[in-house]
Chains A and B, each alone.
Chain A
Amino acid sequence: MVNPKNSFWLALVFTIIIFLLGLTFGYFIEIYKADVSEEKILGSEIELLDYSTRAELYKNLNLSCEPRMDAILKNADEIYYNALELERYEDSAKFTTMLLLLHKRYDLLRASLWIDSNLVRKSCRQDVHVLLYLFEYKTEDVELKSMQGLYSRILSDMKSKHSDKIILLPVAMDLDLGSVDFIEKANNVSQAPAIIIDDNLVIQGRITFDELESIIFNRNKQ
């Protein structure tokens, strides 16, 4: 019979085994989620490449720019919703940095899409507006998190109300991406959260939904 006092060690070994099994299980779940996200981002990248190729073709064939804008809208929406899902996964990630890398990849994809969108918008459809939403991904500051929560709500409301007139591209400012840093500097963005509207107007600080809507849709009319 086992000496009862060995129970202390046996329990420790048993707990370590159960814990390691649990951690391994959790690790593989995170890997699985990362795989799902990677598959989606790959799909988005392929679509973006397809769009770029088509854009070149349309330009060469001198066809209408309408299909180009449609392609951008579709692609931007897809990336937007996939990224929302990725964010949910990221909140539950404890072990791997894979999801963070995927987030960076999404941000780069969106930055690239932002450049293309503005180009197409200028030459093609000025009634569509491109909103680049810059936020801090890693912040723990309560006030900043709250303000970002507000921006996130206003922007998703705007996207819901004007789905075919808005291209919404959220990009994290603090993930050490050179291209994103360059966009910030070029547009004089000093703090998060910020919205760059159509490559030429930066919105920061407290704002209401109505004010933002008015700025986006009425400023060219004035």
Chain B
Amino acid sequence: MNFIDFVFFFYMFAGMYMMSLFLFLYLCGRNNLFDYPKAKIEPVSIVVPCYNEAAEIGEAIESLLKLDYPKNMIEIIVVDDKSKDNSAEIVRKYASKYKNVRLIVNKRNSGGAAEPTNIGIMAAKYPYIAVADADSAPKPDALMKMIGFLQNDKKVGAVTCSVLAKEPKTFVQKLQNIEYAVIAMTRKLLDVVDAVYVTPGPFALYRKKYLLEAGLFDTKNLTQDIEIVWRLRSKGYLARMCLATAVYSATPKKIGAWWRQRIRWNIGGTQTLIKYRNYLFKAGMLGTFILPFFAFSLFLGIFGLGVFSYLFVRRFIISYLITKYSLYANATLIRMQDVSFSPSILNFLGIIMFIMGLGFTLFYLFTMRKDVIKKHNVFNILFYLIVYLSVYPFIMITGLVKLATGRYSW
């Protein structure tokens, strides 16, 4: 067995371990996946950071006004980050119509969501803060099903719910729809072992006191929604995942926008990893699982891409040279024995891995069938597993290069 074989076996083992882990987590938590604690009606401030969202902000406010929660117990604070479009005008109209809608216009464009969110939190009157994206729409029951997690356990500082793709139309959006459903289920399984590591921006609920204690959202981090959870966790607080409700979030329609979004997420994730590196093996699940899991995933992605690139380039050069020499020598270019294939144990393990991955994806989609489209195109699922996920190492590398060279922005 050579080094490359060893690397392949290692990857197979790591992949199988993660799938086995999720299988056992599911077995442990399967009876409570969709459970949520009973809620008391307490006032909530909903902060909506907004920049150039004229097309979506109206719908976002409407969805917040439609929440199944007493209207006098909600205030909606939209913080406009000096939009160039008429977002502020639209919000102003809602503010004049609804007493519980407020508009704050930032003095400058901060270039990210963290600063306007922090401004909104500082202006909030109530002890619970919901943060919502200006292009997202939570289900009406979202707040009611999520708030109980905070009320019933003083250790809980943040709650997230399933983030699902809003009206997926393009092929890229349909793939994200599958991905989001898988991520939601995975996050709930991580919740079984107190390992929720992010409360995504589309809709999340926090305890204001803990946010203030932690120092609010990090304005320098590109994924402030990951960073804040790590910070809360580093201070001993927990994050919970509510699978019983969802928020529908606008997803990139085209591959270019999707690529840029994922690069940003990866840069933010890496920034967070670097910032909290000293917590390795400390602070409970943050240091013993979340941080090593992030670091290990990053290492596996980059190292795997390196090995794959090496093998691919090497194979390409050899094929090119043989073809070039064969043309010169007037010899056969392709023989049957060159394309014949004798499967090895790695191929068998690869097939087992693929079947397990497909099984998990189908099972996740089946479990989430109420919230995501009921019928998934088989081609989309296979494309998601084989192509879509394979792009991630390239995103990781690009993200790292941009982070190292400082060529990134929100």
B-binding residues in A (CB < 8 A)? 1-2, 4-5, 7-8, 10-12, 14-15, 18-19, 22-23, 25-27, 29-30, 33, 84, 87-89, 91-95, 142-143, 145-147, 149-150, 153-154, 156-157, 206-210
Known: A15-B20, A94-B5, A149-B325. 14 other contacts (CB 8 A): A1-B28, A11-B20, A11-B21, A12-B17, A12-B20, A14-B20, A19-B13, A23-B345, A87-B337, A147-B325, A150-B331, A153-B322, A153-B331, A208-B329
A-binding residues in B (CB < 8 A)? 1, 5, 12-13, 16-17, 20-21, 23-25, 27-29, 192-193, 289, 314, 317-318, 321-322, 325-326, 328-333, 335, 337, 340, 342-349, 352
Which chain B residue shows the least CB distance to A213?
A: B330
A71 nearest CB across to chain B (Å): 26
- Closest 5 A/B residue pairs (Cβ): A26-B345, A146-B321, A92-B344, A149-B322, A7-B24
Q: Decide if B342 touches A88 in the complex (CB within 8 Å).
A: yes
| Bound: A78/B66 CA distance, A | 80
Q: Decide if A4 touches B328 in the complex (CB within 8 Å).
A: no
Q: Decide if B326 touches A29 in the complex (CB within 8 Å).
A: no
Q: Decide if A4 touches B28 in the complex (CB within 8 Å).
A: yes
Q: Decide if A150 touches B192 in the complex (CB within 8 Å).
A: no
| Bound: A87/B321 CA distance, A | 21
List A contacts of B345 (CB < 8 A): 22-23, 25-27, 29-30, 92, 94-95
List A contacts of B289 (CB < 8 A): 8
List B contacts of A7 (CB < 8 A): 21, 24-25, 28, 192-193
Q: Decide if B193 touches A5 in the complex (CB within 8 Å).
A: yes
Which chain B residue shows the least CB distance to A24?
A: B345
List B contacts of A1 (CB < 8 A): 28
A19 nearest CB across to chain B (Å): 6
Q: Decide if A157 touches B24 in the complex (CB within 8 Å).
A: no
B80 nearest CB across to chain A (Å): 43
Residue in A19, A84, A92, A207 whose CB lies within 8 Å of B329 = A207
Q: Decide if A209 touches B329 in the complex (CB within 8 Å).
A: yes
| Bound: A146/B331 CA distance, A | 13
Residue in B326, B328, B329, B337 whose CB lies within 8 Å of A88 = B337
| Bound: A1/B335 CA distance, A | 59
Assuming the A-B contacts A7-B193, A15-B17, are A153 and B24 also in contact, with contact meaning beta carbons closer than 8 angstroms in the complex? no
Assuming the A-B contacts A4-B25, A84-B337, are A18 and B331 also in contact, with contact meaning beta carbons closer than 8 angstroms in the complex? no
Q: Decide if B193 touches A4 in the complex (CB within 8 Å).
A: yes
A45 nearest CB across to chain B (Å): 23
Assuming the A-B contacts A84-B337, A150-B331, are A15 and B13 also in contact, with contact meaning beta carbons closer than 8 angstroms in the complex? yes
List A contacts of B343 (CB < 8 A): 92
Q: Decide if B321 touches A142 in the complex (CB within 8 Å).
A: yes
Q: Decide if B335 touches A156 in the complex (CB within 8 Å).
A: yes
The prevalent SS among residues of B at the interface is helix
B67 nearest CB across to chain A (Å): 32
List B contacts of A87 (CB < 8 A): 337
Q: Decide if A15 touches B28 in the complex (CB within 8 Å).
A: no
| Bound: A206/B329 CA distance, A | 8
List A contacts of B325 (CB < 8 A): 146-147, 149-150, 206
Which chain B residue shows the least CB distance to A95?
A: B1
| Bound: A8/B27 CA distance, A | 13
Which chain A residue shows the least CB distance to B356?
A: A18
Q: Decide if B332 touches A22 in the complex (CB within 8 Å).
A: no
Which chain A residue shows the least CB distance to B13?
A: A19
Contact sample, A vs B, 15 pairs, CB 8 Å cutoff: A7-B28, A11-B23, A18-B20, A19-B16, A33-B342, A87-B337, A91-B342, A92-B344, A94-B1, A142-B317, A146-B321, A146-B322, A149-B326, A150-B322, A208-B331
| Bound: A1/B27 CA distance, A | 10
Q: Decide if B28 touches A157 in the complex (CB within 8 Å).
A: no
Q: Decide if A10 touches B330 in the complex (CB within 8 Å).
A: no
Q: Decide if A156 touches B28 in the complex (CB within 8 Å).
A: no
Residue in B193, B322, B333, B352 whose CB lies within 8 Å of A22 = B352
A88 nearest CB across to chain B (Å): 4
| Bound: A10/B342 CA distance, A | 34
Q: Decide if B329 touches A150 in the complex (CB within 8 Å).
A: yes
Assuming the A-B contacts A26-B344, A26-B345, are A208 and B28 also in contact, with contact meaning beta carbons closer than 8 angstroms in the complex? no
Q: Decide if A153 touches B326 in the complex (CB within 8 Å).
A: yes
B95 nearest CB across to chain A (Å): 46
B233 nearest CB across to chain A (Å): 16
Q: Decide if A92 touches B342 in the complex (CB within 8 Å).
A: yes
Which chain A residue shows the least CB distance to B25?
A: A7
| Bound: A209/B325 CA distance, A | 11
Q: Decide if A153 touches B335 in the complex (CB within 8 Å).
A: yes
Which chain B residue shows the least CB distance to A28?
A: B345
Residue in A14, A33, A89, A94 whose CB lies within 8 Å of B346 = A94
Q: Decide if A149 touches B29 in the complex (CB within 8 Å).
A: no
Assuming the A-B contacts A23-B345, A94-B345, A142-B314, are A154 and B21 also in contact, with contact meaning beta carbons closer than 8 angstroms in the complex? no
Q: Decide if A154 touches B314 in the complex (CB within 8 Å).
A: no
A27 nearest CB across to chain B (Å): 8
| Bound: A5/B29 CA distance, A | 11
Q: Decide if B13 touches A93 in the complex (CB within 8 Å).
A: no
List A contacts of B23 (CB < 8 A): 11, 14
Q: Decide if A143 touches B349 in the complex (CB within 8 Å).
A: no
